[in-house]
Chain A
Amino acid sequence: MSRIELRGINKFYANVHVLKDLDLTVEDGDFTTLLGPSGCGKTTTLRVIAGLEAPQSGMLTIDGVKAADGEALYNMPPSKRGVNLVFQSYALWPHMTVAENVAFGLAIRKTPKAEIATLVKSALERMRIAEYAGRYPSELSGGQQQRVAIARSIVAKPRILLLDEPLSNLDAKLRIEMRSEIKRLHRDLGTTVVYVTHDQVEALTMSTKIAVFFEGRLVQVDTPRMIYGNPADRRVADFIGNPSINFLECEAQRDGDSVVIDSGLGRMVIGSVSARNRGTAAETAGAAALGGHAVLALRPEHIAISREPLTGAVEARIYSAMPAGSETLVHCAAGDTTVLAKTIGQEEFSTDQRVWLSVQSEKINLYAAADGALILGAFA
């Protein structure tokens, strides 16, 4: 249970600038996910928090206590920070049994033998692997090894639990099981969790907060709901969501408190713009600059398909339909514009069938054509 603050963190490997002026606060008890494509700096951030990497500049505090100070070349040893880390590779010591792996840190801290035995037992029971205590890691399945790694990291009740892509080596079914297990663990232990992943579904399902990274820069920190509904820039919008978001080039003009958007899906008028503006610098600047070329972003589930003509709907043709059990993804072509729409349930469409598309315009996000910055956010 701890608050982590990173201020102006910069990290270089040789001449590669890996973390660029990182500012991030993880509140006490949060489940914060660091999300981004590979090479974006999320794992490095985690390793800085753990103390395995020292930042060249910037300050890290844990519960107000200085843990790293780049300018003063200070880096508190990992073991003094009250953190523990679950590695992507699990990093189980192959020459020790499960119980020895879990007990190692306690023994190093000179915990009395009897206490070690109780703590190890309860950690293994919590992860439901008590019966494997005497086995070696190589005798366990991937999922069981994962549980051992987690048991090892929680046995000493760390204030902060760090997880580095812990589920990436598991098969799809096991991954879903472990997700709920970890979420439950967070609730039961009340520990502050920092979780690294490149899997946006994992991030959306588990976190209380998501921090999205691109190219060493922190782009957006928000709740999963906001990250999904109001991506702060075009890269975030593109990265989050499966199936991925539709981007349409458009012309946007300010008209009083409304914005008029002309795109391949026809004209849309969005009212009460000032109420939607949450006042971020980018949005304010963007709103002022409104007028001309822009990109509108629309999630597939916000496009409804009708088999009958509707007022305000745009006529289109079915390009291809992909039923997938609980949902159906449909590629539609309206003139030169192709969009992906998602409907719930199994829907039958024939190729080239005529349909009418209607858009929930309040869900639209508008991005600057030049730099992809958000200029008009949706009602999340």
Chain B
Amino acid sequence: MSPAKPARRGLWLERIKNVTLSTLSNPYHVISIVSIVVLLYLIIVPLGEIVSTTLHWQPKDIRVSPSAIPGAFTLYHWINMFTGSVARAMLWEPLLNSMLVALCVSALSLLLGGLMAWVVTRTDIPARKFLSFMILVPYMLPSWYKALAWITVFKNDRIGGYPGFLQAIFGINPPDWLSYGFLPIVLTLSVHYYAFAYLLISSALSSIGGDLEEMGEIAGASRFQILRRITFPLVLPAVLSSFILTFSRAIGTFGVPAFLGLKTNYYTISTMLYSSVRSRRTVQAYILSIVLIAIAVFTVWINQRMIGKRKSYTTIGGKGTRSNLVRLGKARTPIFVMILIFMIVAVLFPVGILVFQTFMLKDGIYSLSNLTLHYWIGASNPQIFEGEAGIFRNPAIWTSLLNTLKLVLLASLIATFLGLILGYVISRGRKRASGRLIEQLSFMPYLIPSIAFGAIYLSMFSQRRLFIPALYGTLALLVLISVVKYLPFSTRAGTSSMMQIGSELEEAAMIEGASFSKRFSRIVMPLAGKGFMSGFILIFISAMKELDLIVLLMTPSTSTLAAMTYSYAESGFHQFSDAVITLIVIIIMAVYLLAAKLGKVDMSKGLGG
């Protein structure tokens, strides 16, 4: 492949000159190199640093071990964490809890999501459009709002304070296992993550050509046989995939187990990680982060392998004709009603009870005289919750609202724009090593659970590094971490919209003499604009409800609405946390409806949190 030997004089000089000139005039390579360096710095370097921290003695270790030499290599932390006196409480029990929760959540979500996907895409259920929207609503809201609703209903007197809904109305004191811990965590998470399975399986189901099933019918198979022998094997990859992806999400989730587990010392890895950071056991927190990342990497790896083997299935299938919808017959109405009841229990009731609670002066007293607007518009009253003013009169809330909007707007704008640039480099560099490297690097944050990501950035950017000043306590840090965390989604969206812009369109402009920036601004961007909008909205919604990612990085001046909810709930100010979450829900729904009105937004692309 080497060209003929350079026999001409001065050839090397000429080569260097020409390469420099062409590199300068075609910034593709410059962009690639900058992207790689930045991605390495923001993703790989922090990972490397936390691994390295866990493998070295830290200054304060002198207290725990006399042989500690700060800065020297050691396996002490790992050995201690896995076999030492803290191992059981800090690692193995939380790990077991996390695994059990994630397994049960995945199974339950798969069951719920899969059934609903089949009913909505494959049967003659009435009001299909309405249902497919309603089914996705829980997914647009934060997962932990249901945890708050759960507490409001099932709170028992173990913790003290005001009684829950059940106790107040029916005088039942729910047992601990119903109020806190494993069961409520699994149920509330499943009611969130089923949408994940629903999206994957329904898109797989609707891509199966009706003709494949019709052929089965012609061959004399019964409806059940068709389902079992044709339909199910065809969607099996999507089923397995949604199980594994749900598992990888659920194992690292923080909000729900924090709200429902900490009160009874029911720890998962993520909540243990949070407490370790809070109690300044940094190295342990890092080890827990690495454990979480390892599990996520492992599950995604399994998924890739499986999909790789069975991929051919998902693309098979003639036209997506839906001529042969299954007739539900007599079961049509009951099934419809059942789904409606589910929606009411899973969506409307939790939202409703939270909204209602914001109007209750005192927790747990369900009477008309107890109703008030204090938590929305009341002035500060020292008798109620230490004088905290109603949220519309509360400067802290206004600051958080402003912070949230700033953060969310900036993060989704930057992430979407970077996604387009990286998508451009990836789609044009499919055949180059640089393109593939960028694709893989930008996918990395997907493998790092949010809470672990927060822990990593907390240490990485709390002091000055190179030319980046200490970012802890600034909004910039929150924007940075959100941008990096959402990069896998924005890059994937960017790549797919760039793939649709044929390189010939650009080459035609190149021949006309358009420079790179002209081509990008006049040809590429206008054509990618549509993808930009929908990518932006999806990230906006994800960022709006984000708690896990930023909970560790929060300071009072940079607090967001989601974090506000968390700290109110932590201190038992339930009406306030409920009022704030109501505000979040209203903003999310308004943005979503606005976006849906302006253009098509495909929720299935937003398999975020």
Taking the closest CB of chain A, its distance from the CB of B215, in whole angstroms, is 34
Complex Cα spacing A15 to B504, Å: 23
In the complex formed, the residue of A with least CB distance to B431 is: A14
Knowing A79-B512, A85-B508, say if A57 contacts B523 (CB, 8 Å): no
* B10-18, B364-372, B451-459, B484-492: which lies at the interface: B10-18
Whether, in the assembled complex, B589 has its beta carbon less than 8 Å from a beta carbon of chain A, the answer is no
A122-177 residues at the B interface, CB under 8 angstroms = 152, 156
Whether, in the assembled complex, B526 has its beta carbon less than 8 Å from a beta carbon of chain A, the answer is yes
Q: How large is the interface on B (under 10, 10 to 19, 20 to 34, 35 or more residues)?
A: 20 to 34
Whether, in the assembled complex, B279 has its beta carbon less than 8 Å from a beta carbon of chain A, the answer is no
Knowing A10-B3, A91-B502, A109-B513, say if A73 contacts B508 (CB, 8 Å): no
Q: Hey, which chain B residues are within 8 Å of A72, CB to CB? A: 8, 11, 14-15, 18
Pair A108/B512 contact, Cβ less than 8 Å: yes
Complex Cα spacing A57 to B527, Å: 36
Pair B510/A52 contact, Cβ less than 8 Å: yes
Q: Hey, which chain A residues are within 8 Å of B522, CB to CB? A: 104
Pair A79/B511 contact, Cβ less than 8 Å: yes
Complex Cα spacing A79 to B510, Å: 7
In the complex formed, the residue of A with least CB distance to B513 is: A79
Pair A87/B11 contact, Cβ less than 8 Å: no
Pair B22/A75 contact, Cβ less than 8 Å: yes
Q: Hey, which chain A residues are within 8 Å of B510, CB to CB? A: 52, 77-79
Taking the closest CB of chain B, its distance from the CB of A302, in whole angstroms, is 43
Q: Which of B1, B3, B18, B19 counts the most chain A CB atoms within 10 A? A: B3
Question: Contacting B507 at CB < 8 Å: which of A13, A56, A80, A91?
Answer: A91
Pair B25/A57 contact, Cβ less than 8 Å: no
Q: Hey, which chain B residues are within 8 Å of A73, CB to CB? A: 14-15, 18-19, 22
Complex Cα spacing A87 to B507, Å: 9
Q: Hey, which chain A residues are within 8 Å of B18, CB to CB? A: 72-75
Complex Cα spacing A78 to B519, Å: 14
Pair A93/B508 contact, Cβ less than 8 Å: yes
Q: Hey, which chain A residues are within 8 Å of B223, CB to CB? A: none
Whether, in the assembled complex, B514 has its beta carbon less than 8 Å from a beta carbon of chain A, the answer is yes
Whether, in the assembled complex, B6 has its beta carbon less than 8 Å from a beta carbon of chain A, the answer is yes
Contact pattern, A 60-98, Cβ under 8 Å of B = 1, otherwise 0: 000000000011111101111001110101010111000
Whether, in the assembled complex, A206 has its beta carbon less than 8 Å from a beta carbon of chain B, the answer is no
Q: How large is the interface on A (under 10, 10 to 19, 20 to 34, 35 or more residues)?
A: 35 or more
In the complex formed, the residue of A with least CB distance to B529 is: A95
Taking the closest CB of chain B, its distance from the CB of A330, in whole angstroms, is 42
Contact pattern, B 464-508, Cβ under 8 Å of A = 1, otherwise 0: 000000000000000000000000000000000000001011011
Whether, in the assembled complex, A50 has its beta carbon less than 8 Å from a beta carbon of chain B, the answer is yes
Pair B512/A52 contact, Cβ less than 8 Å: no
Q: Hey, which chain A residues are within 8 Å of B504, CB to CB? A: 87, 89, 91
Q: Which of A50, A89, A94, A104 counts the most chain B CB atoms within 10 A? A: A104
Q: Hey, which chain A residues are within 8 Å of B509, CB to CB? A: 93, 104, 108
Whether, in the assembled complex, B4 has its beta carbon less than 8 Å from a beta carbon of chain A, the answer is yes
Taking the closest CB of chain A, its distance from the CB of B217, in whole angstroms, is 38
Pair A91/B11 contact, Cβ less than 8 Å: no
Question: Contacting A71 at CB < 8 Å: which of B4, B508, B523?
Answer: B4
Complex Cα spacing A152 to B513, Å: 13
Contact pattern, B 506-547, Cβ under 8 Å of A = 1, otherwise 0: 011111111000100011001100000000000000000000
Contact pattern, A 6-31, Cβ under 8 Å of B = 1, otherwise 0: 00001011110000000000000000
Whether, in the assembled complex, A37 has its beta carbon less than 8 Å from a beta carbon of chain B, the answer is no
Taking the closest CB of chain B, its distance from the CB of A127, in whole angstroms, is 17
Pair B22/A105 contact, Cβ less than 8 Å: no
Taking the closest CB of chain B, its distance from the CB of A49, in whole angstroms, is 11
In the complex formed, the residue of A with least CB distance to B518 is: A108
Question: Contacting B527 at CB < 8 Å: which of A10, A84, A95?
Answer: A95
Q: Hey, which chain A residues are within 8 Å of B508, CB to CB? A: 85, 87, 91, 93, 152
In the complex formed, the residue of B with least CB distance to A78 is: B511
B422-453 residues at the A interface, CB under 8 angstroms = 431
Complex Cα spacing A199 to B237, Å: 44
Complex Cα spacing A53 to B288, Å: 51
Taking the closest CB of chain A, its distance from the CB of B282, in whole angstroms, is 47
Question: Contacting B1 at CB < 8 Å: which of A12, A78, A84?
Answer: A12
Q: Hey, which chain B residues are within 8 Å of A79, CB to CB? A: 510-514
In the complex formed, the residue of A with least CB distance to B4 is: A57
Taking the closest CB of chain A, its distance from the CB of B28, in whole angstroms, is 13
Taking the closest CB of chain B, its distance from the CB of A145, in whole angstroms, is 13
Knowing A91-B502, A93-B523, A108-B512, say if A52 contacts B4 (CB, 8 Å): no
Knowing A87-B507, A104-B512, say if A77 contacts B25 (CB, 8 Å): yes
Complex Cα spacing A104 to B522, Å: 10
Pair B1/A91 contact, Cβ less than 8 Å: no
Q: Hey, which chain B residues are within 8 Å of A51, CB to CB? A: 511
Pair A83/B1 contact, Cβ less than 8 Å: no
Q: Hey, which chain B residues are within 8 Å of A15, CB to CB? A: 1
Pair B512/A105 contact, Cβ less than 8 Å: yes
Taking the closest CB of chain B, its distance from the CB of A65, in whole angstroms, is 15
In the complex formed, the residue of B with least CB distance to A85 is: B511
Knowing A15-B1, A108-B518, say if A95 contacts B507 (CB, 8 Å): no
Q: Hey, which chain B residues are within 8 Å of A104, CB to CB? A: 509, 512, 514, 522
Knowing A72-B11, A72-B14, A73-B15, say if A105 contacts B3 (CB, 8 Å): no
Question: Contacting B505 at CB < 8 Å: which of A56, A78, A91?
Answer: A91
Complex Cα spacing A348 to B526, Å: 63
Q: Hey, which chain A residues are within 8 Å of B502, CB to CB? A: 89, 91
Pair A108/B513 contact, Cβ less than 8 Å: yes
Q: Hey, which chain A residues are within 8 Å of B25, CB to CB? A: 77
Q: Hey, which chain A residues are within 8 Å of B4, CB to CB? A: 57, 71
Complex Cα spacing A347 to B543, Å: 79
Taking the closest CB of chain B, its distance from the CB of A333, in whole angstroms, is 44
Question: Contacting A93 at CB < 8 Å: which of B3, B6, B505, B511?
Answer: B505
Taking the closest CB of chain A, its distance from the CB of B350, in whole angstroms, is 45
Q: Hey, which chain A residues are within 8 Å of B19, CB to CB? A: 73
B5-39 residues at the A interface, CB under 8 angstroms = 6, 8, 11, 14-15, 18-19, 22, 25
Q: Hey, which chain B residues are within 8 Å of A95, CB to CB? A: 526-527
Pair A74/B14 contact, Cβ less than 8 Å: yes
Question: Contacting A56 at CB < 8 Å: which of B3, B431, B514, B526?
Answer: B3
Pair B11/A105 contact, Cβ less than 8 Å: no
Q: Hey, which chain A residues are within 8 Å of B514, CB to CB? A: 79, 104-105, 108
Q: Hey, which chain B residues are within 8 Å of A71, CB to CB? A: 3-4, 6, 8, 11, 15
Q: Hey, which chain A residues are within 8 Å of B431, CB to CB? A: 13-14
Complex Cα spacing A95 to B523, Å: 8
Taking the closest CB of chain A, its distance from the CB of B41, in whole angstroms, is 30
Q: Hey, which chain B residues are within 8 Å of A152, CB to CB? A: 508
Complex Cα spacing A51 to B22, Å: 12
Pair B3/A57 contact, Cβ less than 8 Å: yes
Complex Cα spacing A84 to B523, Å: 18
Q: Hey, which chain B residues are within 8 Å of A57, CB to CB? A: 3-4
Taking the closest CB of chain B, its distance from the CB of A11, in whole angstroms, is 11
Complex Cα spacing A84 to B6, Å: 32
Q: Which of B19, B505, B512, B518 counts the most chain A CB atoms within 10 A? A: B512
Complex Cα spacing A156 to B22, Å: 25
Taking the closest CB of chain B, its distance from the CB of A326, in whole angstroms, is 39
Q: Hey, which chain A residues are within 8 Å of B3, CB to CB? A: 10, 56-57, 70-71
Taking the closest CB of chain A, its distance from the CB of B389, in whole angstroms, is 51
Knowing A10-B3, A15-B1, A95-B527, say if A105 contacts B513 (CB, 8 Å): yes
Task: Provide 9 A-B residue pairs closer than 8 Å at the C-beta atoms, listed in order of the A residue.
Answer: A71-B11, A78-B513, A87-B507, A93-B527, A105-B511, A105-B513, A105-B514, A108-B518, A109-B512
B interface, CB within 8 angstroms of A: 1, 3-4, 6, 8, 11, 14-15, 18-19, 22, 25, 431, 502, 504-505, 507-514, 518, 522-523, 526-527
Task: Please name 9 further chain A to chain B contacts, defined as beta carbons within 8 Å, in addition to the given A56-B1, A75-B18, A87-B504, sorted by A numbering.
Answer: A50-B511, A71-B3, A78-B511, A79-B514, A89-B502, A91-B505, A91-B507, A104-B522, A108-B518
Query: What 8 A-B pairs are tightest by C-beta distance, nearest first?
Result: A105-B512, A79-B513, A57-B3, A91-B504, A91-B508, A72-B14, A74-B18, A78-B511
